């Protein structure tokens, strides 16, 4: 059996360039929105989690800029744009 | 009308330097137009993910000079598809002399290499490429696109090409897109796993530059719509899964996306193939798979949309195709722009030639022919029921018990009652639509 590599370790393999402000934000008052819960399942980088108050939070470091959360949850709950030019993930293989 | 409505600025601004944008830039610059391409990544390819196989045959003639030098990985000479049940799998392998004959029909690729190289070819033809530059908005005047805003600057052009990939905020800002619907998109997750060249060739039975493509369906995606893939590169493997976003977010069982890939890697069939390899990159990207019904407008006044931005990718069950559609649509968008340039008219009426060119080519013909495929294939029976059924039949057929072995026909019929046969027949009739 191959050993399982943790998600953090996998993300650590990627090249990221620090950028300005967060490019994904949960819209005001939507942290408990049912639609946002899907992000926890669908995000391939595991960046969403639910806190004990039932609010979903995002930690945007490691974001692969795939767009899955935007499509699963919708623009009503997420304010989503690409990070500034030349920042964010830079794939070396793709 | 004057030959050039807009005197300041460029003939064409292209948003996005993926395969669609670069193919358009290459073609337009070859035709002598003044092209500016803006790419948000550090280099072209820095943001792009693919599974790994490009079919060159349909686009070979469109770029006759390109293919000899292109940094492709391996030509695909061996095909396998596996149906995965929870505890077993069934594999069909296809080798054929036709797969080994030049010109080869398909190759494995890594986007960061391919796109970067294509960017250089476009620059050589005279296109101007600016990387690390994100297009933020389009300049709209009376409903007509006049250019883009990027990095606080207004950049004007006679026509804008939105080649900014599946989410296409550029087409959205120009009012050409339909709202996102999860059912029309899939998530692709991938690892690039480095492995010694010799090990790859021995393990996959490859001679020289031959490559293997392996596709997997069934338990790979926990029975959700999608599949797994493995492509051999020169000295790495591309391993990943594609799964419908709607199925992932809304269908039982709840499995987190990263876990799906880990489960796939731990299947004994897969673990064996990647053993000793070292993961060097983890990537993900959304794939449009809604076909014709999900497509927005392909053109408007002063703007054309190509590649994933236009929804031109297709998911036919286990295999995704998008790269050749991106390249061809970039090419045809460039043709339509050059004709509009001759006329000095970039209105949507003139630019509508783009759609006719796509309709006359393999691009929209394929989308027409496969228009039912998503609705037919989105049948969970294909991803759960059949893999288990076929697996169980084979298990019993191959099983030799301590006592006498049952006759073959009753063994099969045990799994296939009248109801199952009826359902099978219905699914078969639906399959005929694709
Ligand atoms: C996991 C996976 C497996 C796949 N497997 C296959 C396969 O085996 N075969 C196949 O043919 N297809 C496959 N596809 C689909 C294929 O990769 C896509 O269809 C193809 O990459 C589309 O090319 P494109 O040029 O239209 O878009 P992209 O490659 O997405 O390029 C868009 C470009 O625009 C840039 N951009 C975006 N927004 C802006 C902005 N605002 N300003 C400036 N630049 C911007 C991006 O950085 C990017 O460079 C797969 C996709 C995935 C995710
Ligand atoms: S864009 Fe992709 S990786 Fe980034 S937060 Fe959304 S789902 Fe996660």
Query: Which positions 60-79 of A are in contact with B (Cβ < 8 Å)?
Result: 64-68, 70-72, 74-75
B111-136 per-position pLDDT tens digit: 999 999 999 999 999 999 999 999 99
Write out pLDDT tens, residues B217-275: 999 998 888 999 999 999 999 999 999 999 999 999 999 999 999 999 999 999 999 99
Q: Is the pLDDT of residue B208 over 60?
A: yes
Structure-token match 């402000």, residue found: A21
Model confidence over A15-55: pLDDT tens digits?
Answer: 999 887 779 999 999 999 999 999 999 999 999 999 999 99
Beta strands A56-58 and A88-90, pairing class: unpaired
Higher pLDDT, B70 or B406: B70
B37 CA → ligand 2 middle, Å: 26
> How many Cβ atoms from other residues are within 10 Å of residue B147's Cβ?
26
3-state secondary structure of B167: coil
Picking from B99, B249, B127, the residue whose alpha carbon sits closest to that of residue B183 is: B249
| Nearest CB partner across the interface for B185, out of A1, A43, A71 | A71
Whether A26 lines ligand 2, by a CB cut-off of 6 Å, is no
Give me ligand 1 centre to Cα B379, in Å: 27
Q: A82: Cβ below 6 Å to ligand 1?
A: yes
Cβ neighbours around B137 below 10 Å, total: 14
B396 has pLDDT over 90: no
Q: What domain range is A63 assigned to?
A: 22-85
B406, pLDDT greater than 90: no
Say if ligand 2 is within 6 A of residue A64 CB: yes
Q: What is the DSSP string of B108-142?
A: E--HHHHHHHHHHHHHHTT-EEE-S--EEEEEEET
- Given pLDDT bands bounded at 50, 70 and 90, which one contains residue B3? very low
Do B312 and B329 form a contact (C-beta atoms < 8 A)?
Answer: yes
CATH number at residue A60: 3.30.70.20
Nearest-CA neighbor of B238 among B47, B23, B54, B105?
B54
Whether B318 has a pLDDT exceeding 80, the answer reads no
Q: The pTM is what? A: 0.94
Per the CB < 8 A criterion, the answer to whether B175 and B29 are in contact is no
Query: What was the pLDDT predicted at B386?
Result: 85
Q: Which of A2, A71, A94 comes nearest B49 by C-beta? A: A94
Residue B31 is given by DSSP the state T
Mean pLDDT of B378-388: 81
Write down the pLDDT at residue B4: 45
Band of pLDDT at residue B416, cut at 50, 70 and 90: confident
* A44 in reach of chain B (CB within 8 A): yes
DSSP labels for A26-64?
E-TT-TT-HHHHHHHHH-TT--EEE-TTS-EEE--TT--
Do the chains contact at B49 and A70, CB–CB below 8 Å?
no
Residue with more model confidence, B77 or B400: B77
pLDDT of B351: 98
Nearest to B327 by CA among B78, B115, B73: B115
Q: Using the CB atoms, write b or e for A7-31: b if 16+ within 10 Å.
A: beebbebbebeeeeeebbebeeebb
Complex-level ipTM: 0.96
Does A33 map to a domain? yes
For residues B280 and B197, what is the distance between their CA atoms, to the nearest angstrom? 15
Phi, psi (deg, nearest 5) at residue A66: -80, -30
Give tens-digit pLDDT for B277-289.
Answer: 999 999 999 999 9
Pick the residue from chain A with its C-alpha nearest to B256: A41
Q: A3 pLDDT exceeds 70?
A: no
Ligand 2 close to Cβ of residue A63 (< 6 A): yes
Which one of A5, A44, A72 has the shortest CB-CB distance to B279?
Answer: A5
A90 part of a folded domain:
no
Q: Contact B104/B209 with Cβ under 8 angstroms?
A: no
Query: What distance in Å separates the CA atoms of residue B369 and residue A48, rounded to the nearest whole number?
Result: 39
Nearest CA to ligand 2 atom 6: A69
What percentage of chain B reaches a pLDDT higher than 70? Answer: 98
What's the mean per-residue pLDDT of chain B? Answer: 93
Q: Is the shortest distance between the CB of B18 and ligand 1 below 6 Å?
A: yes
Tell whether A6 lies on the interface with B, counting CB pairs under 8 A.
no
Phi and psi at B90, nearest 5°, equal -125, 130
Residue B8 has pLDDT above 80, yes or no: no
Residues in B touching A5 (Cβ below 8 Å): 279
Query: What pLDDT shows up at residue A4?
Result: 74
Please, are residues B271 and A7 in contact by the beta-carbon 8 Å criterion? no
What is the distance in angstroms between the Cα of B411 and the nearest Cα belonging to chain A? 33
Q: Which residues pair with B75 in a beta bridge?
A: B107, B210
Contacts of B272 (CB under 8 A, 6+ apart): none
Ligand 1 site-directed mutation target among B25, B38, B39, B50, most atoms within 8 Å of CB:
B50
**Percent helix, percent strand, percent coil in chain B, to nearest 5:** 40, 25, 35
Q: Nearest by CB to A46, which of B256, B266, B280?
A: B256
What is the Cα–Cα distance from B201 to B30, expressed in whole angstroms? 39
Q: Ligand 1 centre and the CA of B19: distance in Å?
A: 7
- Output the CA B285–ligand 1 centroid distance in Å: 8
- Ligand positioned closest to the Cα atom of B239: 1
Q: How many domains does chain A have?
A: 1
- Could you check whether the bond before residue A59 is cis, i.e. omega within 30 degrees of 0? no
Q: Measure CA of the first residue to CA of the last residue in chain A; give whole Å.
A: 26
Please determine, for residue B1, whether its predicted confidence score (pLDDT) is greater than 50: no
Whether A66 lines ligand 2, by a CB cut-off of 6 Å, is yes
Total beta-carbon pairs less than 8 A apart between chain A and chain B: 143
Q: Give the pair of three-digit tokens for residue A77.
A: 């709950």
B230 Cβ inside 6 Å of ligand 1: no
Contact at CB, B257 and A94, closer than 8 angstroms: no
Are residues B112 and A91, on separate chains, in Cβ contact within 8 Å?
Answer: yes
Is A9 within a domain?
no
**CA–CA dist B338, B238 (Å, integer):** 38
**Residues A93, B280: C-beta atoms closer than 8 Å:** yes
Set out the domains of chain B in order of their start, with CATH numbers.
10-72+109-177+296-359 (3.50.50.60), 183-288 (3.30.9.90), 377-431 (no CATH)
The verdict on residue A70 lying in a domain is: yes
Alpha carbon of B338: minimum distance to chain A alpha carbons (Å):
29
Question: pLDDT tens digits for A70-87?
Answer: 999 999 999 999 999 999
State residue B6's pLDDT score: 45
Is the CB of residue A51 less than 8 Å away from at least one CB of chain B?
A: no
Q: Which of B180, B248, B283 sits opposite A94 (nearest CB)?
A: B283
Q: How far apart are CA B117 and CA B279, in angstroms?
A: 24
CA distance B176 to B296: 6
What element of type H or E holds B83? strand B75-84
d(CA B26, CA B161): 13
Considering only CA atoms, which of B302, B301, B300, B360 is closest in space to residue B329? B360
Distance from CA of B117 to the nearest CA of A (A): 13
């Amino acid at each position: 059996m191959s050993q399982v590599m943790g998600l953090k370790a996998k993300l650590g393999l990627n090249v990221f360039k620090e950028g300005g402000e967060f490019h994904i934000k949960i819209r005001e008052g939507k942290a408990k929105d049912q639609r946002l819960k899907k992000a926890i399942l669908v995000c391939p980088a595991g960046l969403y989690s639910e806190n004990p108050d039932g609010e979903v939070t995002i930690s945007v470091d490691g974001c692969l800029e795939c767009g899955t959360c935007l499509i699963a949850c919708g623009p009503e709950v997420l304010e989503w744009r690409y990070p500034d030019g030349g920042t964010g993930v830079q794939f070396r293989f793709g | 009308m004057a030959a050039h409505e807009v005197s300041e600025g460029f003939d064409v601004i292209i948003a996005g330097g993926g395969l669609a944008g670069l193919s358009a830039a290459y073609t337009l610059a070859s035709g002598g137009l003044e092209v500016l391409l803006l790419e948000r990544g550090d280099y072209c390819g820095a943001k792009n993910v693919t599974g790994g196989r490009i079919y060159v045959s349909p686009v070979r003639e469109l770029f006759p000079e390109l293919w000899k030098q292109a940094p492709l990985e391996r030509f695909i000479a061996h095909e396998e598809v596996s149906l995965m049940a929870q505890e077993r799998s069934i594999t069909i392998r296809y080798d054929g002399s036709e797969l080994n004959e030049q010109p080869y029909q398909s190759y494995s690729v890594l986007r960061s290499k391919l796109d970067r190289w294509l960017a250089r070819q476009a620059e050589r033809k005279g296109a101007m490429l600016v990387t690390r530059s994100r297009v933020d908005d389009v300049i709209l005047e009376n409903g007509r696109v006049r250019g883009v805003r990027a990095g606080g600057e207004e950049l004007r052009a006679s026509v804008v090409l939105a080649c900014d990939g599946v989410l296409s905020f550029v087409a959205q800002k120009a009012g050409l897109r339909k709202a996102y619907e999860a059912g029309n998109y899939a998530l692709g997750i991938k690892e690039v796993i480095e492995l010694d060249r010799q090990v790859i060739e021995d393990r996959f039975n490859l001679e020289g530059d031959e490559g293997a493509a392996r596709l997997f369906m069934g338990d790979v995606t926990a029975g959700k719509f999608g599949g797994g893939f493995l492509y051999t590169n020169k000295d790495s493997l591309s391993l990943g899964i594609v799964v419908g976003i709607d199925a992932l977010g809304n269908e039982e069982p709840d499995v987190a996306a990263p876990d799906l890939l880990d489960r796939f890697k731990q299947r004994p069939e897969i673990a064996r193939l990647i053993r000793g390899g070292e993961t060097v990159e983890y990537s993900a990207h959304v794939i449009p798979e809604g076909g014709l019904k999900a497509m927005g407008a392909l053109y408007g006044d002063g703007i054309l949309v190509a590649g994933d931005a236009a929804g031109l990718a297709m998911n036919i069950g286990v295999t995704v195709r998008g790269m050749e559609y991106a390249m061809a649509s970039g090419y045809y968008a460039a043709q339509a722009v050059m004709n509009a340039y001759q006329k000095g008219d970039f209105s949507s009426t003139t630019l509508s030639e783009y759609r006719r060119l796509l309709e006359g080519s393999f691009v929209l013909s394929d989308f027409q022919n496969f228009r039912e495929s998503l609705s037919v294939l989105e049948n969970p029976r294909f991803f759960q029921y059949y893999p288990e059924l076929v697996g169980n039949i084979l298990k019993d057929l191959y099983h030799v018990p301590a006592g006498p072995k049952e006759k073959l026909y009753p063994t099969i019929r045990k799994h296939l009652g009248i109801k199952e046969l009826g359902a099978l027949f219905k699914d078969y009739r639906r399959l005929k639509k694709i």
